[in-house]
Amino acid sequence: MNNDLILLGHGSGGRLSHQLLDDLIIPQLSSVPVKGQNDAALLNIGGVKLAFSTDSYVVDPIFFPGGNIGDLAINGTVNDLAMMGARPLCLSVGFILEEGFSKEELSRILASMRQAADAAGVAIVTGDTKVVPKGKGDRIFINTSGIGALEHNLQIDGASARVGDKIIVNGCIGDHGIAVLSAREGLEIDSGIKSDSAPLNGLVTGLLTLGPALHVLRDPTRGGVATTLKEIALQSGVTVTLNEESLPINPGVKGVCSILGLDPLYVANEGKLLAMVAPERADEALEIMRRHPLGRDAAVIGEVTETSAGKVQMETLVGGMRGVEMLAGEQLPRIC
Amino acid sequence: MNYSDVFRDKELVQGLAKRIAELTRGRTEPLVFMEVCGTHTNAIYQFGLRSLLPPEVRLISGPGCPVCVTPNSYLDCAVALCRLPDVIIASFGDMLRVPGSSSSLMEERAKGADIRVVYSPLDAVQLAAKNPDKRVVFLGVGFETTAPTIAGSILAAKAQGLSNYFVLASHKTMPQPMAILSADPELQVDGYICPAHVSAIIGADAYRFLCEEYKVPCVVTGFEPTDVLQGVEMLVRQAIAGESKVEIQYSRVVRWEGNAKAQAMLADVFTPFDAPWRGIGVLPGSGLRIADKYAEFDAELAIPVQVEELKEHKGCLCGEILKGKVAPFDCPLFGGKCTPESPVGACMVSSEGTCAAAYKYGR
């Protein structure tokens, strides 16, 4: 195989993405070694602690059940800041538009961006627009960057998982990925599934009241819950054990996954977070989540069981045990 | 409770595992059962079924993944076709990563080839209708399960009068490799977990000759955990009693005679040929190619193309793994030079491949 080319799988959020970052991008751009990746950088500027994050959105189709590329771009960066325990303050927006893109569609996207920003309580304060010739882009790409305030002294990151921690998810997994997939041309599946795209900063504000019992927050976007947990297990040097029976999964998501041979554990989410919480405060964390509209279906899905290996394993529905790995390349539908 | 939840009931599964353990307790030699369907391989790993079975029962994987048994030569032909400027390749997703002699379709896509992932061969027919100035080639790979839908796509293209839809056909049929494996003195298989989808088409009667000629028990088994373990229990009972017969565990779907309509469609559109299997070799009458009367849809005949010289990957044990002689973890390339991101052999490519399942679930 030729290893000189960028493949679609390098953008999947799975192991290929990690290899690209670790082997090429980070070593060339950063003089400081980076151990694992968190959702945002933490900055201390003259004694003021900030979180800073950026993300680009290239989703196809741009309109899908439950949202569009615009609100996704706002929620995504808001969530990346929130996952560091920061209060999102303001965002920048960069548009790359393809010649011939409809102004009406752009207007709809802008309206939903404004609505999403208002819902998250963030301001869009700067931006940029470029237009590329027809055929040199795919209608619209959006980049958002954001700054958030860190108003606590807690250590919340992917390297802070500890043995005994309970792993909590705020609701059903895989909705976003399946909603987008179902809306894709050529795949006429009426799954009834809507994207879960939503700002999670309100939910995080509640969880921060747990104080030092809150160890890790991470949104399982591309690569899904499996890849995100594997990242955390590697960053923290722990073994995570999931319980398949307790995974909240919408029946529609289960159905589409079963037809296409996909695993919901690897399907993208845009309004979900994984929290790792000290066991003695886990029930309280669950209560906090369930009181919030975005956490009604919150569930404990597993725990950190050992201090070694960077491993994720799962007790299956039927009581068997199996390993869980990072997404390898793209998740591709199987033949039969 | 969903319909499928009944077949994933923890207590039922644990009860079956316990019964199998009781039946086999004290055996000095383990009973070895082979599954010859990638979906079974995947289900066994996905539900962690091996961890529930006693050491007296060993499950091994055979040549059941359609992508895995597709030889390099086929991939090389697909790669050559995708380099033609007016060709769109339409394929099921898991073919894209399979390495040919020097490239893969995913790599060719990154270089600019027009390669589309479709979910049904009929999508590829639509693609041809929408792109009259292009030639659309569907990669017709798979066992008896997939072949009827591809036969259907050829009939649909004919009915629509399309002259730009083609199939690069390399379908395989299942009973022949099972006979070869049964006759292999190096391999001791005490019973087959026969495929579910394939059997729904060809019928359980298709395995009767295996029981008669090779004295090997066969149980047609479904994909849910209770199905698989019940199938294993039926095989254990036959093996202990010294019997060799075909039984249907998956009676909610599979009939003795199979699906006559699908069989008729296969007989109309395809014709048997001596197909090459990766790692196993050419097996007489084990493949389906497009019949002469539909030759206009045969990409191999209709689109002449220069195919690169065949190169086999050194050190790859896919062939032995497909025959169940070597376990994935025993291949020197497994997890090192050969990973799902950079597969050397096809067993690591498809989600149904033995090595891919072992890498994803078994470590």
* ipTM, interface predicted TM-score of the complex: 0.80
Instruction: Assess B146–A contact: CB distance below 8 Å, yes or no.
Output: yes
β-pair partners for B271 = B289
How many Å apart are CA B336 and CA B331, to the nearest integer? 10
Pull the structure tokens for residue B285.
Answer: 């009458």
pLDDT at A2 over 60: no
CA terminus-to-terminus distance, chain A? 26
Token duo for residue B40: 């079974």
**Position A1 pLDDT exceeds 50:** no
Query: Facing residues of A322 across strands?
Result: A314
How many CB pairs (< 8 A) connect A and B?
Answer: 134
Residue B270 structure tokens: 């395809």
Euclidean distance between CA atoms A124 and B261, whole angstroms: 61
CB contact under 8 A, A6 and B110: yes
How far apart CA B14 and CA B25 sit, in angstroms, is 16
**Rounded Cα–Cα distance for residues B270 and B293 (Å):** 9
pLDDT of residue A33: 65
Report the percentage of chain A scoring pLDDT > 70. 94
| C-beta of residue A109 within 8 angstroms of C-beta of residue A62 | yes
pTM: 0.87
- Looking at residue B17, what is its pLDDT? 97
**Interchain pair A336, B99: CB under 8 A:** no
**Shortest CA distance from A18: residue in chain B:** B341
CA distance B44 to B225: 8
pLDDT for A41 beyond 50: yes
Res B4: pLDDT: 67
The pLDDT mean for chain A works out to 92
pLDDT digits (tens, 9 = 90+) for A168-205: 999 999 999 999 988 886 667 777 899 999 999 999 99
Q: Are strands A166-169 and A239-243 parallel, antiparallel or unpaired?
A: unpaired
Lowest mean per-residue pLDDT among A16-30, A130-144, B107-121, B264-278: A16-30
- Test A335 with B13 for CB contact under 8 angstroms: no
Element holding B351 (H helix, E strand): none
Sort strands A48-57 and A41-45 into parallel, antiparallel or unpaired: antiparallel
Across the interface, of B94, B126, B341, the residue whose CB is closest to A335 is B94
Look at B103 and A2 and tell me if their CB atoms are within 8 Å. yes
Q: With an 8 Å Cβ cutoff, are A318 and B8 in contact?
A: yes
Per-residue pLDDT of chain B (363 residues; tens, 9 = 90+): 466 678 889 999 999 999 999 999 999 999 999 999 989 998 999 999 999 999 999 999 998 888 888 888 999 999 999 999 999 999 998 888 888 899 999 999 999 999 999 988 999 999 999 999 999 999 999 999 999 999 999 999 999 999 999 999 999 999 999 999 999 888 889 999 999 999 999 999 999 999 999 999 999 999 999 999 999 999 999 999 999 999 999 999 999 999 999 999 999 999 999 999 887 889 999 999 999 999 999 999 999 999 999 887 778 888 888 888 898 999 999 988 898 877 888 788 777 789 988 988 876
Cβ distance A328 to B339 less than 8 Å, yes or no, reads: yes
B110 contact residues in A (CB cutoff 8 A): 5-8
